[in-house]
Chain A
Amino acid sequence: MSTKLNEERAREQLLDLAAEFYDQFESGQIPEMTLPTRTKSNIEYDPDSGVWVYGDRTSTRSANSVRGARKLLKAVYTIEFLAEQLEEDRSSTLRELYYLSESWDNEEAQFSDQDESNQLIEDLEIVSEVTREDFHMRPEESGATLMGPLELREQTRRGEREIHCQKDVGEGGYQIPNNPDTIEFLDADIDFVLCVETGGMRDRLIENGFDEQYNCLVVHLKGQPARATRRITKRLHDELDLPVLVFCDGDPWSYRIYGSVAYGSIKSAHLSEYLATPAARYVGIQPTDIVEYDLPTDPLADSDINALESELTDPRFQTDYWEEQIELQLDIEKKAEQQSLAANGLDFVTETYLPDRLGDMGVL
């Protein structure tokens, strides 16, 4: 996969979009841009790809209203910026784009907050069918890491690097680049991929040598995973045919982390096919684990309860497994962190919990 080609295509697509506005003006039409509606109610399961994508409902950004006209003006300014950036082979962060707009000569085109610029980039992704990465836009920090028996080659700005993700890296592991499509997998001796939500648990697994013991690639999600993390997870599954497992806290927010790894997120459902790993499975902490292992817990806050109830109506969680787990949790009104397993000793997670769970799931 040549990234050069991708960039060329990205630039063309952006210019095409500008040309479309031009043509609309020329023919006396009101310039507009149609996008799928990005809400929970407009995502649907695509049985072909096994991921959740946007449904048929669309919304239109049209110059017919003052709001719409402002949005389109900003879009055109952003297109110009991105096209130039691609031409010069440079990249910038989403936050930089927001601040950069301050330098534009037209005040109407400047963003009022970063949500607006982030959303506009997502709009442009959808309309041009090009990913943000190909626009050379990256998030502020990714910092997510890999650790395990994997050898890869990364195309960096300073030349190619071949790296073994266990032997060539420190305890921190291999840092996933913003555009993981610049990586080529060379060799792997991996039995499964374990995505871990929290840094504390990831460090525990590494310290206990879990990756070496079980030939496991530990991916640190760092909370809600960045696109790069999800992308590389999908590639690991698709290209190396590895089972993917997700290990999180036992609360509604962690289920959403799992959801975005496995099914795709609502905000980036247009990229689900590119980012989601439908085969990923949830290890824990499950509400049933809280009961079974009698883990130390915290009571559910009101926001937790709302989130759980919202998940019950989320099309992505409408499976028997999730309904049972979520309803159990609403019933016991408790949540537990990954580290609560330490209540049974520091080695409990690597010696008992994970081997048990992975055994149950047929991975070990």
Chain B
Amino acid sequence: MTSFQAELGAEEGIAEELAASQREISIAEFFEKNKHMLGFDSGARGLVTAVKEAVDNALDATEEAGIRPDIYVEITEVGDYYRVVVEDNGPGITKDQVPKIFGKLLYGSRFHAREQNRGQQGIGISAAVLYSQLTSGKPAKITSRTKEADQAEYFELIIDTDTNEPEIQDAEPTTWDRTHGTRIELEMEANMRARQQLHQYIKNTAVVNPHARIELREPGLDEPLKFERGTEELPAETSEIRPHPHGVELGTLIKMVAATDSYSVSGFLQEEFTRVGQKTADKVCDAFRDRHFGRELAWPTPATGIDVSGAVTEAVSNKGADATDRFAGEIESKLRGRDRTAHSQLREIIDDIADEIEDDTGRTFGSTVREHALDAAWSELTAFESDESTNGEGQARDHLTPGLYGLVDDATSTRKDDETVEALAERLARRADGLDDPAFRVTRDELESMVRGAAEATIEYDDVTLGDTAQENITDALWSTARTVPDEVPKISAIEGDRDTASELLEAMRATDILSPPTDCLSPITADLVEAGLRKEYDADFFAAATRDAEVHGGDPFIVEAGIAYGGELGGDGKIDLLRYANRVPLVYQQGACGSTDVVKNIGWRNYGLDQPGGSGLPNGPAVVMVHVASTNVPFTSESKDAIANIPEIEDEVELAIREAARELKSYLNKRRSLEKRQEKQSVLSQILPEMADKVAEVTDRERPDIDPAMGRIMNNLCIEREIDGDTVTLSVENYSDRAETPDITEIVSAEPDAVEADDASVVDLGDEWYIQWSPSVSAGGETALTYTVGSDTEFDITVDDVETEKLTLNA
């Protein structure tokens, strides 16, 4: 390899030469290199992505203003190019905002906000503008009219690719038939090969936005594709939340630290994060102290071989015998009354006692005295003398080993013999003594390596086993008896310039239990509207939907919803259709890479009555499965936002939501199958039994017997079924026998019924319940329908009399 260093002297200006070839990459170049990431990798896809970005923006804008969206999408061929027009009835935008919104990459209100929104990065629409500009050379044409304005404004906008700055080329007032709203017109090199995906995107958008009216015109359509509103209700407004302590990365934290006005960590936490009050902030600060300063190991007071009071007395001078005795005595008795004491705790104790005696006696116990007493008492408490230090005279004192013995013994398994525990405790004591810090301050890591060292030595010299678990248990035991230090946590200013300290703070935040973030920043579609959306766009026999409670992933709350449509006009051959959504935006590409697809594939659909070859993979059948993940930060696999990443927390919720809806599907399918069986049975039996009766009559030489009662008994002949369509409840009474039936039907409903049809119906008001009674006469083979209307969320309870239970099939 060539060494530049060696040649530096010989050839001048290498650095300059290299620097000359380095230049700023223009935004256009960046775009060109990364367009696949942004969803513009081909002309076909670019068109879909441009529509998608514009429609997402339009929906966000109208919803934010509390307006029911009315969106118009038009694609026309213009020579070699395609023109995309997207119009909305939003609040409109002012001239100042136009360049920022449409023209600047990475501009957006949403990147920093914790709020559920369709767009998140602010790349989308400006990327579409740039793509159009790069492929056709034409500016983006924007028309906008705010509510108050008499006139609409027209702008032509280009992006200066050298500076990433938008430029308004042309601005003039214009007339527009909408009273307010925004229209964007982009011309681009494209093709319609992705027509199917385009339609899919529009249709799927209509499914999850039943409050929106959407119209699509494109060259391949004879008639415009119109999706009408399914509900007048707008989605719940979302509120923005501050970040959650569990959801920030180190880089973000450092930026936040730099930007905050707070001086203290506690203030910073309470100010900048959600769900952090004084108590939680204190907890985080303690955890931060543990990480920053370490903890102080605490020691028990030995029963014998210790003379705290003597040592203190010796260390104190000129305080008078009484006061000195009292001082020393109280320190000793206080210590003896405690389980374990750490250095800082002893300091507090001595301070308390000294203050009290000062108050009582008037003598001053200055800081020097207190410090001496502390040193004397502490060295007595934690005496650890090597054999050499006593010069063979008297017993070497060791108060540390006994203090550790109990902990080690409890933390290791009972099979460890006494000698091993003793040896390990002694080795730990020697290492603690060797910390060279009278207060025995250690961080968790230091403590771990201390224990590891002692354990390894014990394993080596005493030939015993001490596994990782045992070592961990010992570390845990020591750590939990150790005390958090009272030192002040570093100030924000100290953290700002210190990456390591910031990282300690982040760890402390993550280690502290903190309430999940509030969920009013999310706006789920809700199960009812999921179902309404599916009902609106799919002509199926059965619909089910489920909305889960909010959960948290990495500090971002999320809600998962699922819906299923089955049967009817849905195609029965081949795989089911899977509709994926993130924050109400349909995901039409990269289905295979999506976490929600994996979940659907791993569910055993046979349990729910769908055919699933091999027991895994997408099931077969006439069904649509819909999954919606709403979050302040949906984790996508890439910038083009096509697939949700495989996050276990989210996948679990997706699975639960789908299973919830699938359970309803299962009971529906079971019911349907039993009805089918019943019909099959009926058709076979109504052939066999008459033949049998004929034969029996022939053999016994009698008249043909009347088999209808028997047949009726077999078939449970009277069927009553409930159908609910909006507010209208229909009870259909079908009499399969050839005998007239007059059942007495009593329906108890929890809300007042209206428009009760049928001649002999009567309604009885019982205060909080209403009884509706009919006794329809149903002729043989005939049927009748009993209808009435009642509000949603009504509970029903039906009883049928005057019909033998054997002859009744109640499906209500």
Chain A residues packing against B (C-beta within 8 Å): 15, 18-19, 21-22, 24-31, 63-66, 69-70, 72-73, 76-77, 79-80, 83, 106, 108-109
When the two chains form their complex, are residues A22 and B685 in contact, meaning their CB atoms are under 8 A apart?
A: no
Contacts A66-B681, A69-B688, A79-B699 aside, 5 further interface pairs with beta carbons under 8 A come to: A18-B700, A22-B696, A30-B713, A63-B685, A69-B685
The chain A residue sitting closest to B709, CB to CB, is A28
Q: How far is the CA of A30 from the CA of B706 in the complex (A)?
A: 12
Interface status of B714 (Cβ within 8 A of chain A) = yes
When the two chains form their complex, are residues B714 and A25 in contact, meaning their CB atoms are under 8 A apart?
A: no
CB neighbours of A76 from chain B (8 A): 692, 695-696, 699
CB neighbours of A72 from chain B (8 A): 692
**Given the known A-B contacts A22-B700, A63-B692, are A69 and B707 also in contact in the complex, defined by CB atoms under 8 Å?**
no
When the two chains form their complex, are residues A73 and B688 in contact, meaning their CB atoms are under 8 A apart?
A: yes
CB neighbours of A83 from chain B (8 A): 699
Name the distance in Å between A44's Cβ and chain B's nearest Cβ. Answer: 34
12 residue pairs A–B, Cβ–Cβ below 8 Å:
A19-B696, A19-B700, A22-B693, A25-B705, A25-B707, A26-B706, A31-B710, A63-B692, A66-B684, A69-B689, A72-B692, A76-B692
When the two chains form their complex, are residues A22 and B687 in contact, meaning their CB atoms are under 8 A apart?
A: no
Q: How far is the CA of A31 from the CA of B714 in the complex (A)?
A: 10
Top 6 nearest A-B pairs (CB, nearest first) are A28-B709, A25-B705, A18-B699, A76-B695, A73-B692, A69-B688
The chain B residue sitting closest to A73, CB to CB, is B692
Interface status of B721 (Cβ within 8 A of chain A) = no
When the two chains form their complex, are residues A65 and B681 in contact, meaning their CB atoms are under 8 A apart?
A: yes
When the two chains form their complex, are residues B697 and A22 in contact, meaning their CB atoms are under 8 A apart?
A: yes
CB neighbours of A77 from chain B (8 A): 695
Name the distance in Å between A226's Cβ and chain B's nearest Cβ. Answer: 30
Name the distance in Å between B510's Cβ and chain A's nearest Cβ. Answer: 63
When the two chains form their complex, are residues A30 and B699 in contact, meaning their CB atoms are under 8 A apart?
A: no
Q: How far is the CA of A15 from the CA of B684 in the complex (A)?
A: 26
Q: How far is the CA of A31 from the CA of B693 in the complex (A)?
A: 10
When the two chains form their complex, are residues A30 and B705 in contact, meaning their CB atoms are under 8 A apart?
A: no
**Given the known A-B contacts A18-B699, A80-B699, A83-B699, are A64 and B714 also in contact in the complex, defined by CB atoms under 8 Å?**
yes
Q: Contact mask B697-720 → A, CB, 8 Å, 1/0?
A: 111101001110110011000000
The binding surface of chain B is classed by DSSP as helix
Name the distance in Å between A196's Cβ and chain B's nearest Cβ. Answer: 44
When the two chains form their complex, are residues A26 and B705 in contact, meaning their CB atoms are under 8 A apart?
A: yes
The chain B residue sitting closest to A29, CB to CB, is B710
Interface status of B691 (Cβ within 8 A of chain A) = yes
Q: How far is the CA of A164 from the CA of B713 in the complex (A)?
A: 62
Q: How far is the CA of A26 from the CA of B681 in the complex (A)?
A: 22
CB interface residues, B 660-697, toward A, < 8 Å: 680-681, 684-685, 687-689, 691-693, 695-697
**Given the known A-B contacts A15-B700, A25-B706, A26-B705, are A69 and B692 also in contact in the complex, defined by CB atoms under 8 Å?**
yes
Chain B residues packing against A (C-beta within 8 Å): 680-681, 684-685, 687-689, 691-693, 695-700, 702, 705-707, 709-710, 713-714
CB neighbours of A31 from chain B (8 A): 692, 710
Name the distance in Å between B46's Cβ and chain A's nearest Cβ. Answer: 60
Q: How far is the CA of A63 from the CA of B684 in the complex (A)?
A: 11
The chain B residue sitting closest to A21, CB to CB, is B696
Q: How far is the CA of A271 from the CA of B4 in the complex (A)?
A: 110
CB neighbours of A108 from chain B (8 A): 687-688, 691
When the two chains form their complex, are residues A73 and B695 in contact, meaning their CB atoms are under 8 A apart?
A: yes
When the two chains form their complex, are residues A18 and B685 in contact, meaning their CB atoms are under 8 A apart?
A: no
Q: Which of B680, B685, B691, B710 contacts A25 (CB 8 A)?
A: B710
Q: How far is the CA of A77 from the CA of B706 in the complex (A)?
A: 19
Name the distance in Å between B5's Cβ and chain A's nearest Cβ. Answer: 83
Name the distance in Å between A310's Cβ and chain B's nearest Cβ. Answer: 35
CB neighbours of B680 from chain A (8 A): 66
Q: How far is the CA of A49 from the CA of B698 in the complex (A)?
A: 40
Name the distance in Å between B711's Cβ and chain A's nearest Cβ. Answer: 9
Q: Which of B705, B709, B714 contacts A63 (CB 8 A)?
A: B714
The chain A residue sitting closest to B707, CB to CB, is A25
Q: How far is the CA of A109 from the CA of B698 in the complex (A)?
A: 15
| B680, B685, B698, most chain A CB atoms within 10 A | B685
Q: How far is the CA of A80 from the CA of B701 in the complex (A)?
A: 11
When the two chains form their complex, are residues B696 and A25 in contact, meaning their CB atoms are under 8 A apart?
A: yes
CB neighbours of B681 from chain A (8 A): 65-66
CB neighbours of A26 from chain B (8 A): 705-706
**Given the known A-B contacts A22-B702, A25-B705, A80-B695, are A63 and B687 also in contact in the complex, defined by CB atoms under 8 Å?**
no
CB neighbours of A66 from chain B (8 A): 680-681, 684-685, 688
CB neighbours of A109 from chain B (8 A): 691, 695
CB neighbours of B689 from chain A (8 A): 63, 69
CB neighbours of B697 from chain A (8 A): 22
CB neighbours of A30 from chain B (8 A): 710, 713-714
When the two chains form their complex, are residues A21 and B692 in contact, meaning their CB atoms are under 8 A apart?
A: yes
Q: How far is the CA of A77 from the CA of B684 in the complex (A)?
A: 18
| B680, B696, B698, B700, most chain A CB atoms within 10 A | B696
The chain B residue sitting closest to A75, CB to CB, is B692
The chain B residue sitting closest to A80, CB to CB, is B699
Q: How far is the CA of A72 from the CA of B690 in the complex (A)?
A: 12
Q: How far is the CA of A232 from the CA of B438 in the complex (A)?
A: 111
Q: How far is the CA of A355 from the CA of B713 in the complex (A)?
A: 68
Name the distance in Å between A109's Cβ and chain B's nearest Cβ. Answer: 7
Q: How far is the CA of A108 from the CA of B416 in the complex (A)?
A: 80
Q: How far is the CA of A73 from the CA of B690 in the complex (A)?
A: 10
CB neighbours of B698 from chain A (8 A): 80
CB neighbours of B699 from chain A (8 A): 15, 18, 76, 79-80, 83
